[in-house]
Amino acid sequence: MFDKFNDKEKFLISVLTHIDFLDCNKIKSLFTSIGSNSLYLACKENKIDSIAADSLIKCLGKKNLSSEWINSFSKEDIRIKSYMDELENVAKYFLKHGIDLIALKNSGITKGIYKRCAASPMGDIDVLVQKKDFMAAHELLLAKGYKLKFRSKLEKDDIEEAFLGGGSEYYTILKDGEKLWFELQWRSVAGRWITPDQEPSTDELFSRSKRIKGSAVRLLSPEDNLLQVCLHTAKHSFVRAPGFRLNTDVDRIVRESSVDWKKFESMVSDMKVKTPVFFSLKIAKELVRTPIPENILNALSPSRVKILIVSKWLTRVGIFDPDGKKWTKIGYIIFVSLLYDSIFDFLDSIFPDKKWMIDRYKVRFSILLPFYYILRITNLLFKRALNSKTSKKNN
């Protein structure tokens, strides 16, 4: 799918693999031939220095690493542990008031699956609550000292507007002075290019979820979890900030969970998201050797032409340098359109049905619908652009 990588790029990819499946001989060889300083700068630039440090500690031992690697490991380990402590505190606080929460994406993986904090850098904590509990959860966060604040300048700090969109953002200052961003969602993906009818019902997600042993936090079922991170990776176009390290989410869930692949395939097909999920799985398999069954890839595979175009495009924009400019606005729209199973699905995401538009934008008169469709298209184009810049600053 990708062109050949040079030795430095091979190193960056090799250190991302699950800690139990590292090719230590390869990592040692590349580390020796390229040099510690050069590799550290490359890992830092690609936001994986603490992940690489975790892998290097296993393969080379702490005594054979320079202080910059050890400092990256220690700093991230402390930071993410404080995040996990706060996640637990909020979950217990919510539970006392009758509200359950599910930790999403890297938050859930780090809390309940792959408990290696230094190897799990994240820019925020993402949680899911049921739609009926969203407003109460919002009030509880405010009472706990959290501040409602969207990182995008184009988003209003308005809870009613946030509720319609599917989620809100907050920040708080932890005891160690760390500023923690916290995302509260009732939609599991809530991407601008992904409509609610493409997402699994939140009620269904909760019914299939399980509480993490010894914790107040719930975790999605393996199938729901894998599907959620596949869509999240696709939402970031696989390579946009925080970059290709997102593919570790797929790898860690697959290696650490008992995925019912038949059920997973059925869920993906029913939601009409075979194309984005295929590329998320395929990229993880090629980059970090994630054991994805070939029959699943074959079942989800789009046309050969689409695979060729997307593969060539990702190769051209590059999987490295997450903060670099990857697409123009028009190029991005075209690329995203290729990730839908059909052109009709793409058009449906841009032009949702009348009822959805009326509910989302509180349209009082049907005659005004054309104006709100124009507003929606404008938001899709320009809010994404600014959010990309904001994402770079916060990851």
pLDDT recorded at residue 155:
79
Band of pLDDT at residue 386, cut at 50, 70 and 90: very low
Mean pLDDT value across residues 316-323: 89
pLDDT recorded at residue 381:
64
- Of 145-154, 176-185, 259-268, the least confident: 145-154
Tell me the torsion sign for CA atoms 84, 87, 88, 89.
positive
Residue 255 C-alpha from the chain's centroid? 18
The gap between the terminal CA atoms of the chain, to the nearest Å, is 27
CA 377/CA 365 separation, integer angstroms: 19
The pLDDT tens digits of the residues spanning 154-168 come to 678 999 989 988 899
In contact, 219 and 182? CB cutoff 8 Å: no
pLDDT recorded at residue 264:
97
Place of tokens 């402590």: 85
| Percentage of the chain lying above the pLDDT 70 cut | 93
Mean pLDDT value across residues 99-104: 98
Residue 273 C-alpha from the chain's centroid? 16
The pLDDT tens digits of the residues spanning 10-33 come to 999 999 999 999 999 999 999 999
pLDDT recorded at residue 330:
84
- 201 pLDDT more than 90: no
Mean pLDDT of the chain: 90
Q: Which amino acid is at 110?
A: T
The pLDDT tens digits of the residues spanning 203-255 come to 999 999 999 999 999 999 999 999 999 999 998 889 888 888 998 999 999 99
